[in-house]
Amino acid sequence: MKRIGFICCLLSLTLAFASCEKKENHPLPPIPGGGGEIPTPEPNPEPTPGQKGKSRYIWIDAGGNFKDYANNSAKIASDVKRLKETGFTDLIVDVRPTNGTVLFASRQGEPLQKIDAWVNGSYVWLKRTANFDYLQAFIDSARENGLRVNASINTMVGGYLCPYGLGSDGPIFKDAKMKSWASVINTSDGLVNTVDLNDSSTDSGARFFNPAHPDAQAYVLGLLADLAKYDLDGIILDRCRYDDYSLQSDFSQESRTQFEAYIGKSVKNWPTDVMKAGQTEFNGWSTTAIQKQWLEFRAKVIHDFVEKAAQTVHEVNPKIRFGAYVGGWYSSYYYSGVNWAHPNYDPKADGYYWAGSAYKNYGYADHCDFMFIGAYAAADSIYGDTEWTMEGFCKQASRLLKGVPFSGGPDIGNSTGFPDGGQGDKMGDIVNACINNSTEGMFFFDLCHVKMFDYWKDIKNAFDNYLQTLN
Protein backbone atom coordinates (compact mmCIF):
# COMPACT_ATOMS: atom_id res chain seq x y z
CA MET A 1 0.00 0.00 0.00
CA LYS A 2 1.74 3.13 -1.14
CA ARG A 3 1.19 6.42 0.63
CA ILE A 4 0.02 9.41 -1.30
CA GLY A 5 2.62 12.04 -1.94
CA PHE A 6 0.07 14.45 -3.29
CA ILE A 7 2.31 17.39 -2.77
CA CYS A 8 5.97 17.39 -1.98
CA CYS A 9 5.78 20.06 0.69
CA LEU A 10 3.65 18.03 3.03
CA LEU A 11 7.06 17.00 4.15
CA SER A 12 6.39 19.93 6.49
CA LEU A 13 8.43 20.39 9.59
CA THR A 14 10.22 17.08 10.00
CA LEU A 15 12.44 16.49 6.96
CA ALA A 16 15.50 17.38 8.89
CA PHE A 17 18.06 15.27 6.99
CA ALA A 18 18.21 12.74 9.77
CA SER A 19 20.98 14.05 11.99
CA CYS A 20 18.76 13.22 14.93
CA GLU A 21 18.22 11.68 18.40
CA LYS A 22 15.67 11.08 21.27
CA LYS A 23 14.88 10.39 25.03
CA GLU A 24 14.99 7.78 27.80
CA ASN A 25 12.70 7.04 30.79
CA HIS A 26 13.35 9.06 33.92
CA PRO A 27 11.35 10.75 36.65
CA LEU A 28 9.64 13.86 35.40
CA PRO A 29 9.95 17.17 37.24
CA PRO A 30 6.86 18.55 38.97
CA ILE A 31 4.47 20.49 36.79
CA PRO A 32 3.86 24.07 37.99
CA GLY A 33 0.38 25.45 38.44
CA GLY A 34 -1.62 27.66 36.15
CA GLY A 35 -5.08 29.06 35.57
CA GLY A 36 -6.82 32.13 34.27
CA GLU A 37 -9.46 33.51 31.91
CA ILE A 38 -9.45 33.16 28.14
CA PRO A 39 -7.90 36.37 26.81
CA THR A 40 -8.91 38.52 23.92
CA PRO A 41 -5.89 38.44 21.58
CA GLU A 42 -4.46 41.67 20.28
CA PRO A 43 -4.79 41.83 16.48
CA ASN A 44 -1.31 43.27 16.05
CA PRO A 45 0.83 42.73 19.13
CA GLU A 46 3.66 45.14 19.75
CA PRO A 47 7.23 43.80 19.66
CA THR A 48 8.93 43.15 22.95
CA PRO A 49 10.12 46.43 24.50
CA GLY A 50 13.53 47.23 23.11
CA GLN A 51 13.15 44.93 20.09
CA LYS A 52 13.88 46.55 16.78
CA GLY A 53 11.90 45.39 13.80
CA LYS A 54 9.66 42.40 13.30
CA SER A 55 10.13 39.06 15.01
CA ARG A 56 12.74 36.61 13.70
CA TYR A 57 11.99 33.01 14.66
CA ILE A 58 14.21 29.94 14.44
CA TRP A 59 12.54 26.53 14.38
CA ILE A 60 14.31 23.78 16.35
CA ASP A 61 13.01 20.44 15.10
CA ALA A 62 13.24 17.70 17.74
CA GLY A 63 14.51 15.02 15.38
CA GLY A 64 16.85 17.13 13.30
CA ASN A 65 18.59 18.53 16.38
CA PHE A 66 18.36 15.52 18.67
CA LYS A 67 22.01 14.45 18.25
CA ASP A 68 23.25 17.85 19.44
CA TYR A 69 20.82 18.64 22.25
CA ALA A 70 19.12 15.55 23.70
CA ASN A 71 21.96 14.82 26.10
CA ASN A 72 23.80 18.14 26.18
CA SER A 73 22.30 21.13 27.95
CA ALA A 74 25.61 23.01 27.61
CA LYS A 75 25.28 22.78 23.82
CA ILE A 76 21.75 24.16 24.08
CA ALA A 77 23.06 27.12 26.05
CA SER A 78 25.92 27.89 23.66
CA ASP A 79 23.76 27.66 20.52
CA VAL A 80 20.99 29.80 22.00
CA LYS A 81 23.59 32.47 22.75
CA ARG A 82 24.75 32.28 19.15
CA LEU A 83 21.15 32.58 17.91
CA LYS A 84 20.83 35.81 19.89
CA GLU A 85 24.08 37.13 18.40
CA THR A 86 22.84 36.24 14.90
CA GLY A 87 19.75 38.41 15.33
CA PHE A 88 16.96 35.99 16.14
CA THR A 89 14.32 37.14 18.62
CA ASP A 90 12.38 33.92 19.18
CA LEU A 91 12.93 30.19 19.52
CA ILE A 92 10.34 27.62 18.40
CA VAL A 93 11.23 24.39 20.21
CA ASP A 94 9.63 21.21 18.90
CA VAL A 95 8.77 19.11 21.95
CA ARG A 96 6.62 16.40 20.39
CA PRO A 97 8.22 14.86 17.31
CA THR A 98 6.44 12.66 14.78
CA ASN A 99 6.72 9.50 16.90
CA GLY A 100 4.20 11.00 19.33
CA THR A 101 6.44 11.06 22.42
CA VAL A 102 7.24 14.19 24.42
CA LEU A 103 10.22 16.27 25.51
CA PHE A 104 8.48 18.05 28.37
CA ALA A 105 6.97 17.12 31.71
CA SER A 106 3.58 15.54 31.17
CA ARG A 107 1.31 13.43 33.33
CA GLN A 108 0.19 11.33 30.38
CA GLY A 109 2.65 11.78 27.52
CA GLU A 110 5.25 9.08 26.87
CA PRO A 111 8.76 10.50 27.41
CA LEU A 112 10.94 10.41 24.33
CA GLN A 113 13.52 7.66 24.67
CA LYS A 114 14.99 7.22 21.20
CA ILE A 115 14.81 8.55 17.68
CA ASP A 116 15.79 7.16 14.30
CA ALA A 117 18.67 8.71 12.39
CA TRP A 118 21.05 8.14 9.49
CA VAL A 119 24.52 7.92 11.03
CA ASN A 120 27.76 6.96 9.29
CA GLY A 121 26.06 5.23 6.39
CA SER A 122 23.38 3.31 8.26
CA TYR A 123 20.00 3.85 9.89
CA VAL A 124 20.14 3.53 13.68
CA TRP A 125 18.40 4.42 16.93
CA LEU A 126 19.84 7.30 18.91
CA LYS A 127 18.98 7.29 22.61
CA ARG A 128 18.42 9.93 25.21
CA THR A 129 20.31 9.14 28.41
CA ALA A 130 20.21 12.54 30.12
CA ASN A 131 17.63 13.41 32.75
CA PHE A 132 17.43 17.20 32.45
CA ASP A 133 14.17 18.80 31.36
CA TYR A 134 14.77 19.40 27.63
CA LEU A 135 12.22 22.19 27.20
CA GLN A 136 13.23 23.92 30.43
CA ALA A 137 16.85 23.99 29.27
CA PHE A 138 15.81 26.01 26.22
CA ILE A 139 13.62 28.28 28.35
CA ASP A 140 16.45 28.97 30.79
CA SER A 141 18.91 29.77 28.00
CA ALA A 142 16.37 31.91 26.13
CA ARG A 143 15.67 34.00 29.23
CA GLU A 144 19.39 34.48 29.87
CA ASN A 145 19.74 35.87 26.36
CA GLY A 146 16.60 37.98 26.25
CA LEU A 147 14.85 35.75 23.71
CA ARG A 148 11.24 34.63 23.65
CA VAL A 149 10.60 30.91 23.61
CA ASN A 150 7.71 29.08 21.97
CA ALA A 151 6.97 25.36 22.01
CA SER A 152 5.53 23.43 19.08
CA ILE A 153 3.98 19.98 19.01
CA ASN A 154 3.22 17.58 16.19
CA THR A 155 -0.44 17.48 17.07
CA MET A 156 -2.27 14.50 15.59
CA VAL A 157 0.65 12.08 15.40
CA GLY A 158 0.80 8.95 17.54
CA GLY A 159 3.84 7.04 16.30
CA TYR A 160 6.32 6.52 13.50
CA LEU A 161 7.16 3.59 11.21
CA CYS A 162 10.83 3.95 10.35
CA PRO A 163 12.28 3.19 6.93
CA TYR A 164 14.94 0.60 6.24
CA GLY A 165 13.28 -1.97 8.49
CA LEU A 166 14.31 -0.24 11.71
CA GLY A 167 10.88 -0.78 13.23
CA SER A 168 8.26 1.43 14.79
CA ASP A 169 8.09 3.71 17.80
CA GLY A 170 5.50 5.71 19.66
CA PRO A 171 2.43 5.12 21.81
CA ILE A 172 0.06 4.26 18.96
CA PHE A 173 2.08 1.09 18.32
CA LYS A 174 2.19 0.10 21.98
CA ASP A 175 -1.28 0.89 23.31
CA ALA A 176 -4.18 -1.16 21.92
CA LYS A 177 -6.57 1.58 22.95
CA MET A 178 -4.71 4.11 20.82
CA LYS A 179 -4.82 1.83 17.80
CA SER A 180 -8.60 2.35 17.83
CA TRP A 181 -7.92 6.08 17.55
CA ALA A 182 -5.69 5.66 14.50
CA SER A 183 -6.62 6.89 11.06
CA VAL A 184 -8.50 4.43 8.84
CA ILE A 185 -7.84 4.80 5.13
CA ASN A 186 -9.94 3.88 2.13
CA THR A 187 -7.67 1.67 0.03
CA SER A 188 -8.29 -0.33 -3.11
CA ASP A 189 -8.34 -3.37 -0.81
CA GLY A 190 -10.89 -1.88 1.60
CA LEU A 191 -10.72 0.06 4.85
CA VAL A 192 -7.40 -0.34 6.67
CA ASN A 193 -6.19 0.91 10.05
CA THR A 194 -2.88 2.65 9.36
CA VAL A 195 -1.20 0.91 12.31
CA ASP A 196 -1.56 -2.31 10.32
CA LEU A 197 0.45 -0.90 7.39
CA ASN A 198 3.85 -2.25 8.38
CA ASP A 199 5.80 -2.40 5.13
CA SER A 200 8.50 0.18 5.78
CA SER A 201 9.51 0.21 2.11
CA THR A 202 6.17 1.72 1.09
CA ASP A 203 4.51 3.05 4.20
CA SER A 204 7.20 4.46 6.47
CA GLY A 205 6.29 7.72 8.16
CA ALA A 206 4.12 9.17 10.88
CA ARG A 207 0.97 7.41 12.04
CA PHE A 208 -1.80 9.86 12.83
CA PHE A 209 -4.81 9.76 15.07
CA ASN A 210 -8.17 10.26 13.42
CA PRO A 211 -8.62 13.96 14.27
CA ALA A 212 -12.35 13.38 14.80
CA HIS A 213 -11.89 10.75 17.49
CA PRO A 214 -12.97 12.27 20.84
CA ASP A 215 -10.49 10.21 22.91
CA ALA A 216 -7.60 11.23 20.69
CA GLN A 217 -8.64 14.86 21.00
CA ALA A 218 -8.87 14.60 24.78
CA TYR A 219 -5.40 13.06 24.92
CA VAL A 220 -3.80 15.84 22.88
CA LEU A 221 -5.65 18.53 24.85
CA GLY A 222 -4.22 17.01 28.02
CA LEU A 223 -0.73 17.31 26.57
CA LEU A 224 -1.37 20.96 25.73
CA ALA A 225 -2.60 21.66 29.26
CA ASP A 226 0.65 20.23 30.65
CA LEU A 227 2.73 22.18 28.16
CA ALA A 228 0.98 25.46 28.98
CA LYS A 229 2.28 25.21 32.57
CA TYR A 230 5.76 26.09 31.41
CA ASP A 231 7.04 29.67 31.23
CA LEU A 232 6.39 30.02 27.52
CA ASP A 233 5.60 32.92 25.24
CA GLY A 234 3.71 30.81 22.72
CA ILE A 235 2.43 27.35 21.84
CA ILE A 236 2.18 26.32 18.19
CA LEU A 237 0.32 23.38 16.64
CA ASP A 238 2.09 21.61 13.82
CA ARG A 239 0.52 18.75 11.84
CA CYS A 240 -2.90 19.62 13.19
CA ARG A 241 -4.48 17.92 10.22
CA TYR A 242 -5.37 14.62 8.62
CA ASP A 243 -2.53 12.30 7.77
CA ASP A 244 -0.32 11.93 4.72
CA TYR A 245 -2.75 9.47 3.13
CA SER A 246 -4.63 12.64 2.31
CA LEU A 247 -8.17 12.30 0.94
CA GLN A 248 -8.17 8.59 1.73
CA SER A 249 -8.43 9.46 5.44
CA ASP A 250 -10.40 9.05 7.66
CA PHE A 251 -13.17 6.56 6.89
CA SER A 252 -13.57 4.95 10.30
CA GLN A 253 -16.94 4.25 11.83
CA GLU A 254 -16.41 7.21 14.14
CA SER A 255 -16.00 9.53 11.17
CA ARG A 256 -19.00 8.02 9.44
CA THR A 257 -21.20 8.60 12.49
CA GLN A 258 -20.08 12.21 12.84
CA PHE A 259 -20.38 12.90 9.11
CA GLU A 260 -23.91 11.54 8.95
CA ALA A 261 -24.81 13.77 11.89
CA TYR A 262 -23.26 16.72 10.05
CA ILE A 263 -25.29 16.20 6.85
CA GLY A 264 -28.41 15.06 8.70
CA LYS A 265 -28.85 11.74 6.90
CA SER A 266 -27.27 8.33 6.56
CA VAL A 267 -24.79 7.46 3.81
CA LYS A 268 -26.28 4.42 2.10
CA ASN A 269 -23.06 3.10 0.56
CA TRP A 270 -20.12 3.80 2.86
CA PRO A 271 -17.55 4.90 1.89
CA THR A 272 -18.30 4.55 -1.84
CA ASP A 273 -20.82 7.39 -1.95
CA VAL A 274 -18.06 9.71 -0.73
CA MET A 275 -15.00 8.13 -2.31
CA LYS A 276 -14.55 4.93 -4.24
CA ALA A 277 -12.08 2.37 -2.95
CA GLY A 278 -8.55 3.51 -3.68
CA GLN A 279 -9.65 6.91 -5.03
CA THR A 280 -7.10 9.58 -4.17
CA GLU A 281 -8.65 12.80 -5.44
CA PHE A 282 -11.91 14.33 -6.64
CA ASN A 283 -12.78 15.13 -10.24
CA GLY A 284 -12.36 18.89 -10.43
CA TRP A 285 -15.57 20.69 -11.31
CA SER A 286 -17.34 17.32 -11.29
CA THR A 287 -16.83 17.04 -7.54
CA THR A 288 -20.22 16.00 -6.13
CA ALA A 289 -22.33 17.71 -3.48
CA ILE A 290 -21.63 15.00 -0.90
CA GLN A 291 -17.91 15.22 -1.58
CA LYS A 292 -17.98 18.95 -0.93
CA GLN A 293 -19.88 18.25 2.30
CA TRP A 294 -17.18 15.73 3.19
CA LEU A 295 -14.50 18.37 2.73
CA GLU A 296 -16.53 20.78 4.85
CA PHE A 297 -16.90 18.16 7.55
CA ARG A 298 -13.17 17.46 7.68
CA ALA A 299 -12.42 21.19 7.88
CA LYS A 300 -14.99 21.50 10.68
CA VAL A 301 -13.27 18.70 12.62
CA ILE A 302 -9.96 20.54 12.54
CA HIS A 303 -11.60 23.93 13.18
CA ASP A 304 -13.42 22.66 16.26
CA PHE A 305 -10.29 21.05 17.64
CA VAL A 306 -8.23 24.23 17.16
CA GLU A 307 -10.91 26.16 19.04
CA LYS A 308 -10.73 23.64 21.91
CA ALA A 309 -6.93 23.74 21.89
CA ALA A 310 -6.84 27.54 22.09
CA GLN A 311 -9.27 27.49 24.99
CA THR A 312 -7.25 24.81 26.80
CA VAL A 313 -3.99 26.76 26.53
CA HIS A 314 -5.54 30.06 27.53
CA GLU A 315 -7.37 28.59 30.49
CA VAL A 316 -4.07 27.36 31.91
CA ASN A 317 -2.12 30.51 31.09
CA PRO A 318 -3.86 33.45 29.39
CA LYS A 319 -0.50 35.11 28.69
CA ILE A 320 0.66 32.39 26.29
CA ARG A 321 0.01 33.14 22.64
CA PHE A 322 -1.62 30.28 20.78
CA GLY A 323 -1.08 29.53 17.12
CA ALA A 324 -0.54 27.04 14.34
CA TYR A 325 1.89 26.25 11.55
CA VAL A 326 0.42 25.50 8.11
CA GLY A 327 1.79 25.13 4.63
CA GLY A 328 1.23 28.21 2.50
CA TRP A 329 -0.23 26.19 -0.41
CA TYR A 330 -3.86 26.97 0.45
CA SER A 331 -5.15 25.89 -2.96
CA SER A 332 -4.40 22.25 -2.13
CA TYR A 333 -4.46 22.26 1.66
CA TYR A 334 -8.03 20.98 1.64
CA TYR A 335 -6.39 17.60 1.03
CA SER A 336 -5.28 17.77 4.66
CA GLY A 337 -8.72 18.68 5.99
CA VAL A 338 -7.58 22.18 6.92
CA ASN A 339 -9.04 25.60 6.23
CA TRP A 340 -6.44 27.85 7.82
CA ALA A 341 -7.92 31.07 6.50
CA HIS A 342 -10.06 33.54 8.43
CA PRO A 343 -13.79 32.72 8.25
CA ASN A 344 -14.34 36.07 6.54
CA TYR A 345 -12.47 34.70 3.54
CA ASP A 346 -14.63 32.66 1.13
CA PRO A 347 -12.70 30.29 -1.15
CA LYS A 348 -15.86 29.47 -3.09
CA ALA A 349 -16.16 33.12 -4.10
CA ASP A 350 -12.53 32.94 -5.21
CA GLY A 351 -13.37 30.12 -7.62
CA TYR A 352 -12.06 27.05 -5.81
CA TYR A 353 -14.13 24.15 -7.17
CA TRP A 354 -13.75 22.04 -4.05
CA ALA A 355 -15.28 24.62 -1.72
CA GLY A 356 -18.95 24.31 -0.85
CA SER A 357 -20.98 27.18 0.54
CA ALA A 358 -20.22 26.27 4.16
CA TYR A 359 -16.49 25.65 3.78
CA LYS A 360 -15.61 29.23 4.74
CA ASN A 361 -17.33 28.79 8.11
CA TYR A 362 -14.56 26.46 9.21
CA GLY A 363 -11.63 28.76 8.70
CA TYR A 364 -9.88 28.75 12.06
CA ALA A 365 -7.46 31.68 11.89
CA ASP A 366 -9.64 33.79 14.18
CA HIS A 367 -8.92 31.33 17.01
CA CYS A 368 -5.19 31.97 16.73
CA ASP A 369 -3.14 34.75 18.30
CA PHE A 370 -0.49 34.25 15.61
CA MET A 371 0.26 31.86 12.77
CA PHE A 372 3.20 30.49 10.84
CA ILE A 373 3.01 30.05 7.08
CA GLY A 374 5.38 27.66 5.37
CA ALA A 375 6.67 29.66 2.40
CA TYR A 376 8.46 26.52 1.20
CA ALA A 377 9.42 27.60 -2.29
CA ALA A 378 12.77 26.82 -3.86
CA ALA A 379 15.78 29.06 -3.40
CA ASP A 380 15.36 30.28 -7.00
CA SER A 381 11.66 31.13 -6.46
CA ILE A 382 11.84 33.89 -3.87
CA TYR A 383 9.92 36.76 -5.49
CA GLY A 384 6.51 36.64 -7.11
CA ASP A 385 2.80 37.07 -6.51
CA THR A 386 1.61 33.47 -6.62
CA GLU A 387 1.92 30.25 -4.64
CA TRP A 388 5.27 28.52 -4.88
CA THR A 389 7.20 31.72 -4.45
CA MET A 390 8.16 32.83 -0.95
CA GLU A 391 6.84 36.32 -1.48
CA GLY A 392 3.65 34.99 -3.07
CA PHE A 393 2.95 32.59 -0.22
CA CYS A 394 3.24 35.47 2.26
CA LYS A 395 1.14 37.88 0.18
CA GLN A 396 -1.61 35.29 -0.16
CA ALA A 397 -1.57 34.59 3.59
CA SER A 398 -1.92 38.29 4.30
CA ARG A 399 -5.06 38.36 2.15
CA LEU A 400 -6.58 35.18 3.60
CA LEU A 401 -5.82 35.76 7.28
CA LYS A 402 -7.65 39.10 7.46
CA GLY A 403 -5.39 40.73 10.05
CA VAL A 404 -4.36 37.71 12.12
CA PRO A 405 -0.61 38.20 12.78
CA PHE A 406 1.60 35.76 10.92
CA SER A 407 5.20 34.99 10.03
CA GLY A 408 6.23 33.30 6.80
CA GLY A 409 9.44 31.44 6.24
CA PRO A 410 11.38 28.92 4.14
CA ASP A 411 12.58 25.35 4.66
CA ILE A 412 16.28 25.86 3.98
CA GLY A 413 16.96 22.13 4.18
CA ASN A 414 14.44 20.97 1.58
CA SER A 415 16.50 18.99 -0.88
CA THR A 416 14.20 19.93 -3.77
CA GLY A 417 14.58 23.65 -3.24
CA PHE A 418 17.81 24.03 -1.29
CA PRO A 419 20.04 21.22 -2.53
CA ASP A 420 23.08 20.48 -0.38
CA GLY A 421 23.52 23.96 0.99
CA GLY A 422 25.34 26.67 -0.90
CA GLN A 423 22.43 29.14 -0.81
CA GLY A 424 23.98 31.59 1.62
CA ASP A 425 23.86 34.38 -0.95
CA LYS A 426 20.06 33.98 -1.10
CA MET A 427 19.46 34.81 2.58
CA GLY A 428 19.16 38.54 2.05
CA ASP A 429 16.44 38.15 -0.56
CA ILE A 430 14.70 35.49 1.53
CA VAL A 431 14.53 37.76 4.56
CA ASN A 432 13.39 40.68 2.42
CA ALA A 433 10.63 38.66 0.72
CA CYS A 434 9.31 36.99 3.86
CA ILE A 435 9.63 39.59 6.59
CA ASN A 436 8.36 42.51 4.51
CA ASN A 437 5.30 40.59 3.29
CA SER A 438 4.36 39.03 6.64
CA THR A 439 2.55 41.01 9.29
CA GLU A 440 4.55 39.91 12.33
CA GLY A 441 7.89 38.55 11.18
CA MET A 442 9.53 35.52 9.60
CA PHE A 443 11.02 32.17 10.51
CA PHE A 444 13.73 29.84 9.30
CA PHE A 445 13.20 26.09 9.33
CA ASP A 446 15.44 24.61 10.65
CA LEU A 447 18.33 25.26 13.05
CA CYS A 448 20.00 21.98 12.10
CA HIS A 449 20.25 23.27 8.52
CA VAL A 450 21.72 26.60 9.64
CA LYS A 451 24.42 24.60 11.39
CA MET A 452 24.85 21.90 8.74
CA PHE A 453 25.41 24.42 5.95
CA ASP A 454 27.02 27.13 8.12
CA TYR A 455 24.49 29.84 7.30
CA TRP A 456 25.17 31.77 10.51
CA LYS A 457 27.02 34.70 8.94
CA ASP A 458 24.70 34.86 5.93
CA ILE A 459 21.59 35.09 8.10
CA LYS A 460 23.18 37.64 10.43
CA ASN A 461 24.09 39.84 7.48
CA ALA A 462 20.54 39.51 6.10
CA PHE A 463 19.02 40.49 9.45
CA ASP A 464 21.47 43.38 9.87
CA ASN A 465 20.60 44.70 6.42
CA TYR A 466 16.88 44.43 7.20
CA LEU A 467 17.32 46.32 10.48
CA GLN A 468 19.31 49.04 8.74
CA THR A 469 16.35 49.73 6.49
CA LEU A 470 14.37 50.70 9.60
CA ASN A 471 16.72 53.55 10.55
Average pLDDT of 158-180?
Answer: 96
Structural domain count of the chain: 1
Domain carrying residue 406: 8-175+211-245+299-468
- Predicted confidence (pLDDT) per residue in 276-306, tens digit: 999 999 999 999 999 999 999 999 999 999 9
Please report the pLDDT score of residue 419 as a whole number: 86
Q: Does the residue 47 lie in any domain?
A: yes
- Predicted confidence (pLDDT) per residue in 398-416, tens digit: 999 999 999 999 999 988 8
| Omega before residue 32 within 30° of 0, cis | no
Q: Does the residue 267 lie in any domain?
A: no
Q: Does the residue 371 lie in any domain?
A: yes
Predicted TM-score of the model (pTM): 0.91
Q: Does the residue 82 lie in any domain?
A: yes
Q: Does the residue 203 lie in any domain?
A: no
Q: Does the residue 221 lie in any domain?
A: yes
Amino acid at 467: L
What are the phi and psi torsion angles at 236 (to 5°)?
-125, 130
- Predicted confidence (pLDDT) per residue in 23-74, tens digit: 222 222 332 222 233 233 333 344 566 789 999 999 999 999 999 999 999 9
Q: Does the residue 206 lie in any domain?
A: no
> In Å, what is the CA distance from 114 to each residue of 106, 200, 371?
17, 18, 30
Q: Does the residue 30 lie in any domain?
A: yes
Q: State how far the Cα of 377 lies from the Cα of 392, in Å rounded to an integer.
A: 9
Q: Locate the DSSP E strands across 105-214.
A: 114-119, 122-127, 148-154, 157-162, 167-169, 184-187, 190-193, 205-208
Is residue 94 pLDDT above 70, yes or no?
Answer: yes
- Runs of H (alpha helix) within 354-426: 390-401
| CATH number of the domain enclosing 410 | 3.20.20.80
Name the DSSP class of 410. -
Please report the pLDDT score of residue 42 as a whole number: 39
Give CA 333 to chain center in angstroms. 13
Please report the pLDDT score of residue 49 as a whole number: 61
Please report the pLDDT score of residue 232 as a whole number: 98
Average pLDDT of 313-337?
Answer: 98
Please report the pLDDT score of residue 120 as a whole number: 84
Highest mean pLDDT among 42-51, 120-129, 151-160, 419-428 belongs to 151-160
State the DSSP string of 260-305.
HHHHTS--SSTTTTTS-TT--S--GGG--HHHHHHHHHHHHHHHHH
